[in-house]
Amino acid sequence: MIPNILEASRQWREVFRTQGVGEVHLCIMLTTFSGIRSGLNDLASLGFDSAVQFPPHETTGAVVPPPAPAPNFTGQFFDYKEVAINAVAEALPNFKTFPGVMPSFDNTSRRKQSAHAFLNSTPETYEFWLRGAIEKATQSLVGQEQLVFINAWNEWAEGARLEPDQKYGHAYLQATRRALHATHRWRTVLDLLRYLPIEDTQQLNRLLAQLEQRIGAIEQASRCTIQTIDAVLEYKQAQVVSSLTNRTPNIRCSIDSPKINALVNTKALRIDGWVISTDLGAVAVDIKSRQSVLKRVPIDLPRPDVAHAYGIPYSTVGFCDVVEIRDITSQVDLHLDLVFNDGTSQLMQVISLQPDSASMPGIEALPEKRQQLHQAVSTSPREQINHLRAYSGERNNEFWSTIAALEKLIDEKEWHLKTACELLQQNQISDCFKSF
């Protein structure tokens, strides 16, 4: 579109030099108009240092039928998920390229009957595409050039926006944060293993480590839930009448269970939550009653939901355990003290319990659910992960069947955990389920 682009780029550089800016980095956008992507073009011969992807330009995907009859419509519809998969699966060009993604696209408001729209876009599929782009940037670019471009923040006329809307709320921004901080869901990791060009063993092992971390979080939460179910069958009830947090600088914390007004089992009281301690190094929580330490609980549980909320790297800031409260004939105050690296401690929370004689309804389904959850925890993904670790680059039938088996296994683990927690939540016993 610019005649004699080499001369034009030379003049641009000269202008910057004469104006005192110095040398500049010129980047060409890969669009359907540039004609760069399809050939073996040498960017230097055009006067450019690099290129940047600009979807939906140069994306690939089959044209799909319109979702409803559209008389006189001359535009095209594409499936967003297929386009995202193709974009992740395609290697970057053989010249320096900054990857690009789009959360969605529909320019009907501008193009009317000749519009292009990408159907079935979701925050989850966008997260997969963005994380795939980040993986490519990490592998192919270095230092401050590890950039990914997103189209766009609020291009409402083309339906390409990260900005919150009525349908999804902040979901696209949350997906962006998950992809950026590597706190993305286990399904995203599995899809990256499916489609992303794996450059080397180090990248493969990094993806498998992410997957193992998420599986471990599901299994750890499942074991804690099994403990809760076991205790429910010998239920002695109390009510949480207050839960007071000791607010201090440099510490963020929350007790997820038990909640105020919840009816809890005193023979096996589940206590879980999280702690972010800036520069203080909190390593454990002492649960104390009547000046005695009932249990010291390590702060070692992965909490991706907390990482999402506070924008911290994926880290082990959670804690979870079950304690027995004996002789609760009157109010009992539980003191939760933070224990730091240097051995000092500090009060974090006071939970007050009152005895309650009411019976707990709806526990008849718990024994079967416990058995299912135990079986899910006992089923190890080690064999499938080891098969993937030996992956040599060719995605053959064995590779695809291994991925499918692994997905089924993890899905069952998460489903049994979720349904067990929902059953407990019906009686205000636990709200331990998190999405991993």
Q: What is the pLDDT of residue 337?
A: 94
Q: Which residues on neighbouring strands pair with residue 319, listed in sequence order?
A: 273
pTM: 0.74
User: What are the structure tokens assigned to 3, written together?
Assistant: 């005649």
Q: Are 363 and 249 in contact (CB under 8 A)?
A: no
User: What are the structure tokens assigned to 421, written together?
Assistant: 């927690």
Query: Domain coordinates of the chain in residue numbers?
Result: 25-180, 236-355, 363-425
Q: What is the pLDDT of residue 37?
A: 57
- 332-340 vs 345-355, strand pairing mode: antiparallel
Q: What is the pLDDT of residue 309?
A: 85
User: What are the structure tokens assigned to 1, written together?
Assistant: 């579109």
Q: Which residue has the tokens 């991706």?
A: 304
Q: What is the pLDDT of residue 362?
A: 60
Q: What is the pLDDT of residue 364?
A: 73
What is the dihedral sign for C-alpha 90, 304, 165, 122?
A: positive
CA distance 302 to 319: 9
For residue 139, the number of C-alpha atoms closer than 13 Å in the C-beta half-sphere is 20
Burial class (CB within 10 angstroms; exposed 0-12, middle 13-18, buried 19+) of 71: exposed
State the DSSP string of 259-327.
PTT-EEETTSEEEEEEEEETTT-EEEEEEEETTEEEEEEES-EE-HHHHHHHTPPS-EEEEEEEE----
Q: How far is CA 91 from CA 84, 113, 347, in A?
A: 13, 34, 53
What are residue 182's phi and psi, to 5 degrees?
A: 60, 35
3-state secondary structure string across 22-50: CCCCCEEEECCCCCCCCCCCCHHHHCCCE
Q: What is the pLDDT of residue 429?
A: 58
CA distance 56 to 48: 22
CA distance 360 to 175: 39
Nearest of 303, 227, 226, 297 to residue 267 by alpha carbon: 227
Angle at 42 between CA 149 and CA 203, to 5 degrees: 50
3-state secondary structure string across 364-414: CCHHHHHHHHHHHHHCCCHHHHHHHHCCCCCCCHHHHHHHHHHHHHHHHHH
CA distance 88 to 393: 16
Q: Which residues on neighbouring strands pair with residue 347, listed in sequence order?
A: 337
Burial class (CB within 10 angstroms; exposed 0-12, middle 13-18, buried 19+) of 329: exposed
Query: What is the block-wise mean pLDDT of the chain (436 residues), using blocks of 10 residues?
Result: 86 96 94 64 84 94 87 92 97 93 95 93 97 96 96 93 94 96 94 93 93 93 88 74 83 90 85 85 91 92 86 83 82 92 91 73 77 93 91 83 95 94 72 50
Integer Rg of the chain from CA:
27
Q: Which residues on neighbouring strands pair with residue 285, listed in sequence order?
A: 297, 338
What is the dihedral sign for C-alpha 396, 179, 88, 67?
A: positive
Class of domain 236-355: mainly beta
CA distance 163 to 156: 9
User: What are the structure tokens assigned to 207, written together?
Assistant: 């993806």
Q: What is the pLDDT of residue 360?
A: 56
Nearest of 88, 94, 91, 93 to residue 61 by alpha carbon: 88
Q: What is the pLDDT of residue 431?
A: 46
SS3 219: helix
* 203, 204, 205, 207 alpha-carbon torsion, rounded to 10°: 90
SS3 100: strand
